[in-house]
Amino acid sequence: MSNPLHLETELTFSNRFTQELPADPLNTLESRPVIGALFSDVNPEPSPAPSLLAYSPEVLELIGMNSEVVKTPEFTHWVSGNLCLKGMRPHASCYGGHQFGHWANQLGDGRAINLGEIKTDRGQHFTLQLKGAGRTPYSRTADGRAVLRSSVREFLCSEAMHHLGIPTTRALSLVTTGRSVVRDMFYDGHPKSEPGAIVLRVAESFTRFGHFELLAHRQQHALLKQLVDFTIRSDFPEILGDEPKDNTGRWFEVVCQRTAELIVQWQRVGFVHGVMNTDNMSILGLTIDYGPYGWLENYDPKWTPNTTDAAGRRYCFGNQPGIAGWNLTQLANALYPLIGSTAPLERGLDLFSQTFEASWRKMMAQKLGLMTFKPDRDEALIERLWSILEHLEIDMTLFFRTLSQIAPVSHAIESSEIAQRFEPSFYRQDLTTSGDIERLTNWMKDYLERTSEEALTPDQKSAMMKAVNPRYVPRNYLTQMAIDAAEQGDPALIHELLEVFRHPYDDQEDVQRFAQRRPEWARHRAGCSMLSCSS
């Protein structure tokens, strides 16, 4: 297809990664160990009949593209992999990683193809990446494609996370390819044909912990240093100091700090990644790789959205902080050969723990409407609350949003009032008449006494809490409803949810149905409760 001038001049490709780092000398799709290289050149597989289902106006503006370009057929062909623009260098990157705690050796971009890196008029660099555009040398036995259900989930959640204020990769577009893809959704020997789709993802960098781990595992220390130096120079220029030998340690500290802050934000909104393997951890502290993720509905720290993780629950909600620390330790092990001392790496790991604790306390104080966190009182108050929410099966998102509307004045609150106010967040049908409601009532009295000590008006307290306790999150069942409709040819719910998630902290009166607890029909339905890695 010809390259239309108006689309081709929209983007300026800088491609620092492919210009400065070594490429795979082979140019085939054969699955193989790729040694001594950080990427392989590979072209997207053409889509026979691409159709644009949705796009993000904010991401279009972020990368400096004119909104009118979306209306052109060339745009759809470009974001589906059919059109190669001047300056693009499509490639898949090479990395390894620990999966479920075990070293998995080489992994790489098996379902992702980077179109290249652009530089905007504002001087920002972004890598553009197609997910689901065909095979790469890292696809192993897979076909490199993606299905509509996983693509809808990634598109909606990427943008929702951004508007929630959580660091994340972004999603520019969602297209169907016109090709069917066969997947065994439950890994139970019953594959079926599903519509294929592609998401164009955008991030400052898609570099992962696993990039460094693989080079260290192979003892390619010169290439490891080259990658570290490139990463610091390209993505962390602010840490460059007079002593280059100290740069790696300083960089690791920043990665630890950003990772801690990211996990705190996940915990704030009840997000569960589902597959926190080291190859799914961003060195920029971004949420990356939206596979079998999920959102806590009834509060359960042991809940995991990943069917593969159901037995061990390694990546459940409550384990996410500890797993992040474990993953950072693996990154530290990979960097040790460059530093030759454990002290800088231990400082980074200590910083992770310190940052997480301080950020978590600040976050919880905000969620509860407290100006200050008093450990001697508030830790016990919070632990009691988590126990109550879990035992009583209360919706986490709805509970905190309702709590933000209760003025810190009266301590004489009764169980009947609690039941009435919080009933929309109860999953247990007997809870309004159960004696268990007394536990929540007693906690509420202690909480109101605590908040009455703060120098905040009711309106100030409510505003503080609403700024961190969202009204709308991409609940699993909402996304599944959008998938069901899209598979029948109707993308309207995708568009509606995208618009709702652009303002997650606002009370949007005309869409209150999207702020309701999970319906009973979705409790155990696939896609609404747990998912596999199949896409």
What integer pLDDT is reported at residue 355 of this predicted model?
A: 98
Partners of 102 in beta bridges: 99
The pLDDT value recorded for residue 6 is 67
Alpha-carbon distances, residue 162 vs 89, 152, 165, 202, 287 (angstroms) = 27, 16, 5, 12, 10
* Mean model confidence pLDDT for the chain: 94
Encode pLDDT of 372-388 as tens digits: 999 999 999 999 999 99
**Bridge pairing between strands 146-147 and 170-183:** unpaired
Q: What is the pLDDT of residue 409?
A: 62
pLDDT of 190 higher than 80 = no
**Is 377 or 524 the better-scoring residue by pLDDT?**
377
Q: Dump pLDDT digits (tens) for 286-302.
A: 999 999 999 999 999 99
Burial class (CB in 10 A: 0-12, 13-18, 19+), 397: buried
Of the candidates 450, 321, 299, the one whose C-alpha atom is nearest the C-alpha of residue 373 is 450
How many beta carbons lie within 10 A of that of residue 524, not counting itself? 9
Nearest Cα to 62, choosing from 124, 133, 144?
124
Strand partners, 114: 91, 129
Three-class DSSP category at 464: helix
Asked if the model's pLDDT at residue 187 lies above 80, the reply is no
At 6 the three-state DSSP class reads helix
Q: Which residues contact 346 (CB under 8 A, 6 or more apart)?
A: none
Do residues 200 and 128 make contact, with C-beta atoms less than 8 angstroms apart?
A: yes
Stretch 243-263: mean pLDDT: 94
Looking at residue 298, what DSSP letter applies? B
pLDDT at 5: 42
Q: How many residues does the chain have?
A: 535
Q: Which two tokens stand for residue 263?
A: 């996990």
Give tens-digit pLDDT for 465-504: 999 999 999 999 999 999 999 999 999 999 999 999 999 9
Neighbours of 222 (CB within 10 A): 10
What pLDDT is stored for residue 371 in this prediction? 94
Position 2 pLDDT exceeds 60: no
Which pLDDT score is estimated for 414?
Answer: 86
Residue 42 has pLDDT above 80, yes or no: yes
Question: Please, what is the angle between helix 476-487 and helix 492-501, to 10°?
Answer: 150
Query: Pick the catalytic residue: 24, 109, 279, 309?
Result: 279
Question: DSSP character for 164?
Answer: T
Q: Are 375 and 480 in contact (CB under 8 A)?
A: no
**Hey, what are 134's tokens?**
């065909």
Long-range Cβ contact pairs of 347-354 (< 8 A, separation 24 or more): 347/249, 347/253, 348/249, 348/252, 348/253, 348/255, 348/256, 349/256, 349/325, 351/253, 351/256, 351/257, 351/260, 352/256, 352/257, 352/259, 352/260, 352/324, 352/325, 352/328, 353/260, 353/325
pLDDT in tens, 130-170: 999 999 999 998 899 999 999 999 999 999 999 999 999 99
What backbone torsions phi and psi does residue 368 show, to the nearest 5 degrees?
Answer: -95, 0
Phi first, then psi: give them for residue 55, nearest 5 degrees. Answer: -150, 160
How far apart, in whole angstroms, are the C-alpha atoms of residue 383 and residue 388?
9
pLDDT digits (tens, 9 = 90+) for 89-108: 999 999 999 999 999 999 99
The mean pLDDT value for 223-243 works out to: 93
pLDDT of the residue at 411: 59
Amino acid at 359: S
Does the global pTM surpass 0.85? yes
Q: What is the mean pLDDT of residues 110-126?
A: 97
Reported as a single tens digit per residue, the pLDDT across 436-457 is 999 999 999 999 999 999 889 9
Q: What is the pLDDT of residue 4?
A: 47
**Percent of all residues in the chain with a pLDDT value above 90, rounded to a whole number:** 87
pLDDT of residue 531: 81
Instruction: Please give the pLDDT value at position 528.
Output: 86
Fill in the DSSP letter of residue 373.
Answer: -
Q: Which value, in Å, is the radius of gyration of the alpha carbons in the chain? A: 24
Whole-angstrom distance, CA of residue 261 vs CA of residue 265: 6
The pLDDT of residue 1 is 42
Summarised one tens digit per residue, pLDDT across range 7-39 is 777 899 999 999 999 999 999 999 999 999 999
Residue range 326-335, pLDDT digits in tens: 999 999 999 9
279 is catalytic: yes
Tokens of 102: 């075990």
* Type of residue at 105: N
